[in-house]
Amino acid sequence: MKSTLPTTESRTPSHPHAPVRLIIVDDEELIRDAFCLLVEAFPEVTVVGEAATGEEALALVAELRPRMVLMDLRLPGMDGVAAARRIREEWPETLVIAVTGVTDGLLLMAAVELGLAGYILKRATRQELHLAITMAIAGRRYVCPEITEAVTAHHHYAASPLDPVSRREAEVLDLLCRGVRSKKIAERLEISIRTVEKHLGSLRRKYRTDTTMEMVTIYQRELLGEGGAR
């Protein structure tokens, strides 16, 4: 377990404009090193420690009280879901972003049920990682399109938050969450762009939003429950 700040300094309140203090948890050193290089380039955050297991992560959070944790879900011993749950219970002010290499399985769905601060894949782009971090800092949750798709498939539209939304509107919204633009949505669903825009207007009204981006954010939050980012 590696720490880069002494305990005394870690308990000192941060300046309002100071970078958010973050720890990286992954059992593979190369992955941790890669995330460190990426994250240290973001002015909003600074890496203050690394951990290779769930147990090490808990010890590091207790010592350093970071504002944010990038948490791999598959870890030896205590997995990332169990560690994230403990962090939510004992240090609710700490934001946990789940990092996973897969888009299916019980472990991912268990992490989804926790309503963490964000969900990204290990193969995420630099821009996507930055987006997940900045959204979490702002109190919003980022979910990568692949995980949104997996959650939607897992729910099979049953007991879904989409009760007021038609099946075709749900199809449009799902494609939108995957990053598909209106023209491609029209091609995939074999409908006109005008019809796509009509569905988007209807969805914005049902979600009571003025922008498509805000609607997508609300939709992703609903899929993952009401826990939300703290």
Do residue 25 and residue 131 come from a single domain?
yes
Specify if 163 maps to a domain.
yes
Tell me how many degrees the CA angle 13-19-23 measures, rounded to the nearest 5: 85
Residues 161-199 have pLDDT tens digits of 434 567 788 788 878 877 888 999 999 999 999 999 999
Q: Which domain holds residue 217?
A: 156-223
Supply the pTM of this predicted model: 0.64
- Predicted confidence at residue 203, as pLDDT, reads 86
Do residue 124 and residue 164 come from a single domain?
no
Residue 118 has pLDDT above 80, yes or no: yes
Q: Which residues contact 161 (CB under 8 A, 6 or more apart)?
A: 219, 222, 223
| Cα separation values, 194 from 104, 203, 205, 217, Å | 34, 14, 17, 23
Do residue 56 and residue 86 come from a single domain?
yes
Residue 35 is classified by DSSP as H
- Predicted confidence at residue 196, as pLDDT, reads 93
More confident residue, 25 or 205: 25
Which domain CATH number covers 195? Answer: 1.10.10.10
- Predicted confidence at residue 8, as pLDDT, reads 30
Please state the domain count of the chain.
2
Do residue 69 and residue 137 come from a single domain?
yes
Identify the weakest region by mean pLDDT among 50-64, 151-165, 175-189: 151-165
Strongest mean pLDDT among 94-98, 143-147, 212-216: 94-98
What is the rounded average pLDDT of the residues 120-137?
Answer: 90
Residues 138 and 115: beta-carbon distance below 8 Å: no
Tell me how many degrees the CA angle 173-177-180 measures, rounded to the nearest 5: 90
What sign does the dihedral 67-72-73-75 (CA atoms) show? negative
- Predicted confidence at residue 17, as pLDDT, reads 67
The last residue of one of the domains, among 114, 144, 174, is: 144
